[in-house]
Amino acid sequence: MTIKTLLSATILATATFTAPLAAEEVTLRAVSAFNLGTTFSREFESFVEWINENGKGVVQIQVVGGPEAVPPFELGNAVQSGVVDIANNTSAFYPNLVPAGDAIHLAENTVQDQRANGCFDVIDRIHQEQMNAKYLGRSGDGMGFHLYLTKPVDGPDLTGLTIRTTPVYQAMFSALGANLVRTAPGEVYSALERGAIDGYGWPAQGVLDLGWDEQTEYRVDPSFYNVDVNLLVNLDVWNGLTDEQRAKLEEGANWMEALNANNAELNKAEYAKQAEAGIETITFDEAGAEKWLNTARDAGWAAVEAIDAPLAQELRACLVK
Ligand code: 173
């Protein structure tokens, strides 16, 4: 038995023992796709603390671990099958399950706007139908993605560069001529160190947390898209909870989403720290920036349309206003 199988079996066994009984406190087991204590797990861990504080006697969450517990690209399957009850995961790590999930990072409005205009329900519906998961909430709003490089570029042309990607950057960077290598975050540092890649896509925040600044010379501005890091609950587990337990989790998710408003300040602070760490900013001129952002948007939506045109249209209508 491998460690992973053992871990899965342990989680499964424990989950069975804690299967919800009416009106009793239930403990849900959660895994994050991102290293605990780093950006993209932090809001999730705050959500867990909030639930454990405010959900006493109703619902509790036990964090089992990060990518060392379940590899990021397998976490979608783990929440789908119920090996974990809750996942903190970005749509880019489960394109096999919800291919049109790529649309979420193309959003130009906030998750609060999407709750108000019905888009959140569409996103929830596709997660339920395609992934057997309740889409509970989102962190990351208000933060864009960047291209980080070990060598300079002088415009939006990535010909000849080998760039680490995920589905987030795939359509855009390949439209701009890059060679792409898809890896989990855990492989980026050594790929840079070996010179196997000339750069990587990553959000505005988190580079220093992961120590990648040691291997990074440049950040390309402007940023594009909107980060999505999602709270997903196995649908069978969700359906087995009481109304009170579900309401508490929803309340916690709303509380977590309010934290997204801090990202504007956090982005600025992170850019200052990157500069201090010696990362230079390459800022395209107006025409370059326009091409960069238009390619991001157009190639991004074209990729979602190629996956499911009617769904792309439905999502675009409520994600861009
Ligand atoms: O670059 C990535 O690994 C990625 O797609 C992502 C998405 C959201 C948050 C952090 C990283």
206 CA distance to ligand 1 middle (Å): 10
40 CB less than 6 Å from ligand 1? yes
pLDDT, residue 27, reads 98
* pLDDT(1) > 50: no
Q: Which residues of 237-259 are buried (b: 16+ CB within 10 A; e: fewer)?
A: bbeebbeebbebbeebbeebbeb
What mean pLDDT value characterizes the chain?
A: 94
pLDDT, residue 321, reads 72
pLDDT in tens, 138-185: 999 999 999 999 999 999 999 999 999 999 999 999 999 999 999 999
201 CB less than 6 Å from ligand 1? yes
241 CB less than 6 Å from ligand 1? no
Q: Which residues of 5-15 are buried (b: 16+ CB within 10 A; e: fewer)?
A: eebbeebeeeb
166 CB less than 6 Å from ligand 1? yes
pLDDT in tens, 90-111: 999 999 999 999 999 999 999 9
202 CB less than 6 Å from ligand 1? yes
Taking the model in full, what pTM does it have? 0.93
Q: Return the half-sphere exposure (C-beta side, CA atoms, 13 A cut-off) of residue 146.
A: 25
Query: Residue range 206-210: average pLDDT?
Result: 96
Residue identified by tokens 């749509």 is 91
Residue identified by tokens 């750069």 is 199
DSSP code, position 69: T
